[in-house]
Structure 1
Amino acid sequence: MTTNRTELSELTKLGIPAILAQLSQMSLGVIDTMMAGSINPEALAAIAVGTNILNPVMVFILGVFLALNPIVAHLNGRGSFQQIGVVFQQSTLVAFLLAIPAIYFLAQAKSIMAFIGIQAELHQIVADYLAACCYGIVPLFGFLALRFCNEGLFSNRAIMLVSILAIPFNLVFNYWFIWGGLGVPAMGAIGIGYATALVWTVMFISMLTYSLTSPRYRHLAIKSKLHPIDWQQLKELFKVGLPMGIGVGMEIAMFAIIGLMIGRYAIEIVAAHQIAINIASMAYMIPLGLSIAISARVGFFAGRNDPIALEHAAKTGISLAITIACFSSISMYLFAEPLVALYSDDATVVSLAVSLLLLAAIFQLSDATQVALSGALRGVKDTRIPMFISAISYWLVGFPIGYISAEILGWSARGYWMGIVAGLTTAAALLYIRYRKFIVKADSKNRNNETSA
């Protein structure tokens, strides 16, 4: 059995690279937002709306592929190394197939905006931005598939390096396509879409190169043998992954719909919301990265059939996530205005964004708690009940409270953010109840059986 210090050390070894990878990937969106803001408020608003249409698609696929982490970790814990090669190959194939409906959905951007009531002057620029992003959808999904397979093998450092490598590419490509040069015309906000597609391609090629050439993977038969389709393995991927994709998708969909509803307001309010949600999302990357490490550790011990070590790993990870969230909340409260000032010098936008960021400071604890609990449950492949918890928390509690507060009580963007606080707090409470029932009680039962024996 691992001690607290040993487990914390192992979790940190996995967690720090995972957190840095998440922060690096999130920083790509932050860079896009900042550089769009340097063009004009309309460009910033267009990127905000485009991101809110794109994110549910990306996050649903990410949620499906999150299943690869515990699946590979279970196989690794059992020593089923040849089967890991099967998962690598089949997950990449699934990534290419899932890109088809995703691209089709993004092509309907104008209809989506018209239905919601987004300002007409943003329709064309948002549609063109998303059309440019579509060139990178296939490599993005391929990267996500390879990423979570590698995370199941504790290769978080490689993912971190690939993610950090993407940052300078993003800066250069953004500048190039926004302002033009070397035969490329100035494209403004639309150029950010083309730059994003190129960055996703660089990330996929880098991750594929590592997966095929790493000496650590020689025994896995990833490239040395072409495996036939394993329908049982595919069934497990979708059995674990689809509820996860739907659950995570419902959470992000709430944020996206709220962003789109706010997109009907004045440009200054839209810009303020985008700035505040960017900062809050950056903070969220820390517990999210840690939750990925929790899944891998819990999945590994589940594969070894060691419930005592499994529960210990989960408890350590959740405690660490909550501790980090306390620091994030305090920092966000104390430094709200300087953080917002990094994005804009417009006094109205800064004032509105600061008021939203103070609400974000409130939900840091519940957000970190719910994502860490989700990571632990994901490690034991418990995804169906958490899916229903997401539906209840975000669509029966969070969004209705936000809509009533914003549209009926007249609190505007702040009202929707109150809904976010309510949704995340409900999710944290319900997931804790599930965690106590599914993991803690199972461990207690095992300990009692060992004592009786």
Structure 2
Amino acid sequence: MHITAYTKEFRKNLHIAYPVMLGQLGHVLVGLADNIMVGRLGAAPLAAVSLGNSLVFIALSLGIGFSFAITPLIAEADGAEDVETGKSYFHHGIIMCGINGIILFLLLLLAKPILYHLDQPPEVVALAIPYLEIVAFSMIPLMLFQAYKQFADGLSQTKYAMYATLISNVVNVLFNYLLIYGIWIFPRLEVEGAAVGTLISRFFMLWFVWEILRRKKKFRQYFVWSRKELLKMNIFKRLFALGFPTALQMLFEVAIFTATVFLAGTLGTNPQAANQIALNLASMTFMIAVGLGVTATIRVGNQKGKANFADLRRIAFSTFLLVFLIEAVFAVGFILLKDWLPTLYIENVEVIILSAQLLIVAALFQLSDGLQVVILGALRGLQDVKFPTLICFIAYWIIGFPVSFFLGKEEAMGSMGIWFGLLAGLTASALMLYIRFNYLSRKLLVQAEMQPKMTV
């Protein structure tokens, strides 16, 4: 197949992906703003936000993973033009995400004592605990927002969640500024101020997306609730069957990045601050790939609903090629700007030098990281989630983490060794997931081609 068969899909891929990219990038830019504002308070407050968020990100990965089950089911129903089935998945998805939000809030409160047993600097833990308590409550509005977002994504309407995210990010930055430094009539809460700003913005984001979706003609029929179809266990089982493995996939990946925070913390406050800066920068480029991962889920799910498996493969491979080209540009940018980017966060020379070293490794794993998340998205569109979960576990925890653990010791390679483990895990994941998608999509295509012959 000629290369133009893939590149001609770039425009449509980007049309669906760019609102998700901007929305996700908006989240990370708020993280950047948080880190810059908190970084001005010193290395310990910056490390505290990193440590507090390490537990929040684990909870977040589980909640978002479950919500991802909504998108391929809605996309398949949309491809088959079956509104009633789509509506049922949407309603049950909201209930599931609301319950998840409450459970995650409670689990984060119960998990607080863990921070005292992770060999972290005491001054960092003391600042992280109150931050975590406040941000934990924001899981409830955030999970409900995810239900609305994944529903709209499944209908290929990705822009509305972007609007909600970007506007709420402005709210977040505003309240962070007022509450961290105590501007105007607001109290100076420092690290806790960043948490309160996050909480306010997430309630605003939920209200905004609900308000905008229910008023749009395309969504109106989905917002009609009927009592008889409120609770159907078979629908919850379908959502759970897709959501639980997806949550584990995200958990395995987020947990290894979280482990780097803990491993860096054992090296001291400065290495932990440097690790946070490099992670924040790497997560910005990752959010571009997340947008294309969502696109792969939507478009593969649509083609599955239409039973058009030749186009399914071609469209999926077009997303793989596109993310590879985009991430290659980011990799070059990281290498060229490695000495300057950390200065946006902090003035500590040692932290800047350590961050610059980590950005070299981050540049190398851009390609693997981007590819693995987009291929996972394509597999999710096929509703294949169990085997990819096993792949993620092997890649990150059998291959990646041991490398991080042994090379990340102070007497070995320190922070650089930790990140070489990430590189190994992400590369293994991308390779194995590609083999899986190629096998499954080829199998579906062959079966479809054989069907007419069997009928004859």
TM-score by length of 1: 0.95
Alpha carbons of 1:281 and 1:5: their partners in 2 closer, same or farther (altered >3 Å)?
Answer: closer
Is 1:159–1:207's contact at 8 Å kept on the other side of the alignment? yes
Alpha carbons of 1:138 and 1:48: their partners in 2 closer, same or farther (altered >3 Å)?
Answer: same
Q: Which residue of 2 aligns with 1:316?
A: 318
Is 1:298–1:313's contact at 8 Å kept on the other side of the alignment? yes
Deviation at 1:104, TM superposition (A): 2.1
1:300-331 superposed Cα distances (whole Å, 9 cap, x missing partner): 11111111121111111111111111111111
Alpha carbons of 1:82 and 1:285: their partners in 2 closer, same or farther (altered >3 Å)?
Answer: same
Q: Which residue of 1 aligns with 2:382?
A: 380
Is 2:6–2:317's contact at 8 Å kept on the other side of the alignment? no
Which stretch of the first structure deviates more once superposed, 88-97 or 146-155? 88-97
1:361-407 superposed Cα distances (whole Å, 9 cap, x missing partner): 01011111111110110101000001000110011010011101112
Distance 2:13 2:363 in 1: 26
Q: Which residue of 2 aligns with 1:339?
A: 341
1:422-451 superposed Cα distances (whole Å, 9 cap, x missing partner): 100110111111111111343245346669
**Are residues 1:400 and 2:402 paired?**
yes
Is 1:398–1:420's contact at 8 Å kept on the other side of the alignment? yes
Is 1:139–1:204's contact at 8 Å kept on the other side of the alignment? yes
Deviation at 1:123, TM superposition (A): 2.2
Is 2:98–2:143's contact at 8 Å kept on the other side of the alignment? yes
Which stretch of the first structure deviates more once superposed, 246-255 or 110-119? 110-119
Structure 1 unaligned residues grouped into runs of 5+: none
Q: Which residue of 2 aligns with 1:138?
A: 140
Q: Which residue of 1 aligns with 2:25?
A: 23
Distance 2:103 2:11 in 1: 42
Is 1:179–1:188's contact at 8 Å kept on the other side of the alignment? yes
Is 1:269–1:413's contact at 8 Å kept on the other side of the alignment? yes
Determine helix, strand or coil for the equivalent of 1:333.
helix
Q: Which residue of 1 aligns with 2:245?
A: 243
1:48-99 superposed Cα distances (whole Å, 9 cap, x missing partner): 1111111010011111111111011011111110222222222221122112
Pairs aligned (count): 451
Determine helix, strand or coil for the equivalent of 1:337.
coil
Distance 2:110 2:125 in 1: 11
Is 1:110–1:124's contact at 8 Å kept on the other side of the alignment? no
1:89-141 superposed Cα distances (whole Å, 9 cap, x missing partner): 22221122112321222113442112211122222321100111123121011
Structure 1 segments of 4 or more deviating over 6 A?
450-453
Distance 2:141 2:106 in 1: 16
Q: Which residue of 2 aligns with 1:371?
A: 373
Deviation at 1:149, TM superposition (A): 0.9
Picking from 400, 424, 427, the partner of 1:425 is: 427
Which stretch of the first structure deviates more once superposed, 247-256 or 106-115? 106-115
Which stretch of the first structure deviates more once superposed, 314-323 or 121-130? 121-130
| Alignment map for 1:21-420 (pairs within 5 Å) | 21-181=23-183, 183-220=185-222, 222-223=223-224, 225-226=226-227, 227-407=229-409, 410-420=412-422
Distance 1:219 1:334 in 2: 51
Distance 1:266 1:409 in 2: 14
Distance 2:193 2:226 in 1: 40
CA RMSD of aligned residues (A): 1.9
Deviation at 1:219, TM superposition (A): 3.1
Distance 1:352 1:451 in 2: 62
Determine helix, strand or coil for the equivalent of 1:163.
helix
Distance 2:361 2:116 in 1: 30
Which stretch of the first structure deviates more once superposed, 227-236 or 350-359? 227-236
Alpha carbons of 1:77 and 1:129: their partners in 2 closer, same or farther (altered >3 Å)?
Answer: same
Determine helix, strand or coil for the equivalent of 1:15.
helix
Identity of aligned residues (%): 27
Distance 1:351 1:303 in 2: 51
Distance 2:450 2:353 in 1: 57
Which stretch of the first structure deviates more once superposed, 176-185 or 429-438? 176-185
Alpha carbons of 1:232 and 1:56: their partners in 2 closer, same or farther (altered >3 Å)?
Answer: same
1:8-42 superposed Cα distances (whole Å, 9 cap, x missing partner): 33212101112111111221211111111012211
Is 2:160–2:213's contact at 8 Å kept on the other side of the alignment? no
1:150-206 superposed Cα distances (whole Å, 9 cap, x missing partner): 100011111221121122111111011112245532110111111101111111111
Is 1:276–1:357's contact at 8 Å kept on the other side of the alignment? yes
Is 2:50–2:276's contact at 8 Å kept on the other side of the alignment? yes
- Aligned AA (2:68): L
Distance 1:42 1:373 in 2: 38
Which stretch of the first structure deviates more once superposed, 82-91 or 379-388? 82-91
Distance 1:168 1:99 in 2: 23
